[in-house]
Structure 1
């Protein structure tokens, strides 16, 4: 009976363990400033690397609440033609954090982490930065601040928001985009928000990772005092965006790391510092080739409208924009079509990088 129980335990664990075995898992030791104590620390930034002998590099950056594994479809698509580097951003997944969640995670800090990872991986040439959600903001800043290292930017969901004008707090957007109100909650009551998200990690993951065919309660994302209560009494099944193994892995990672560090993106000091760095620098344009893919069924916001209001094209001279009929995670909801867009743009923009792409059947 003991052997039988052990065998069942090993088999059940084996299914969960299969997913994270993509690529080689590595850790870069990177300097990071804790601004609350004015102390520079060394933190671990975990990343996954595939095909290190390839000439050209793609570096993928997730948003909230993600880790490296949300890029599974893109890793599998591009691993044979590119060197693929996929990070856990600081404070999330297996990556460390210097402390001071409210003021030590500007987009500039995240870009420094990416540069550190590329140095650790001994990437000699430039890389294309591909981001989703807050990862998009990080990649936009990478293209703006370090065109010497990042040759191009691909953004999924979030357009470029230049720092040319005065700093704008999140409240200024709420009249036009009321479903951004949850960000006030994440900013003002970080401990309460983290506790709410951590009370049932699997339920949190299932609420956040939505398919375009899934209808959210009308009040979802519109409260400044809670994130999950609109789903009270609603039974939730696994998101169609991921397999059971993928969900288990994501739940396991956030159970270990918690959510508090992940709320770094929403903090006033981090956002103000991100704006200040670019504003004071005086260079507002992203002067590298860029592709933005906006989901038009996103419950958070209409990103095409955000792009127009922000005049993104005025600040990204080499920008191509595409609209796709998905919810917030197009790379997970329609990976075949999104990979075709990425591949076609990469081939046209950097012709020496990869052979000609065939159009995917049913391409958007």
Structure 2
């Protein structure tokens, strides 16, 4: 008896992720869920230097500005609710200090530019096709920063507009890194504030545009490029394999920890190099050890445990010098 329909995934053999890979993640909050898993296992990652960005035009803007090394100025910021904001970035980069925001945005530009040039893998998670155009500048923004909605026009990007935006993203990236492997995915987070039907339209536009791009890449492969373009079905796994509200948070919108772990396992089984899993298991043991709360910290048994843990850390960091382990909050 089968109690679940399962999506068939092909193991990546051309450009799998390993501990030698440098990975850049951009996009919606689900990219941070995957990014946290990669961080936990001590992969080399850079995550959302501009903060969470939800739609393809925002990601395109971040990438274009980074590759062209744009320099932001104070005149480009907006003031709202006693804080300065950049409309091209998430509110996590906002501040009461205008100069601090400019500094953070320009640092994000440099970080993204460097990461794009060095990365072996770029994971882009698209969240929505709905965008907001700021009336004062007639530009599409990455975040509205709680500015009154009357100052924006809300629009659904067409499949053609999204495809054009994704083409631009790929073109800009390949100018600085022709060998990068680009992996698109669509966030399983449902944007129900837009409406149920509107959310479905949005996700379908994103998926259709990505697959239009994949078809173009297959029919007309680009010369002098080592990295390809692929799609990982995060959204489809959530909607089909995890078709149950027990896999959602209390808001019935965001995937819960169980769902995130399940999708991560499907992702790692598909995209992470098989020989890498042994090291991942060692890292997992270390991370759990660092979170351990002893009953008696001075006990001989615990001291032996710490000595054994230290030896494991020394062993793995001698092979992978970029790994940094810190003691975590204890597990209850």
TM-score range, shorter chain: 0.3 to 0.5
TM-score, normalised with respect to structure 2: 0.35
TM-score, normalised with respect to structure 1: 0.33
- More helix by percentage: 2
Higher CA-based Rg: 2
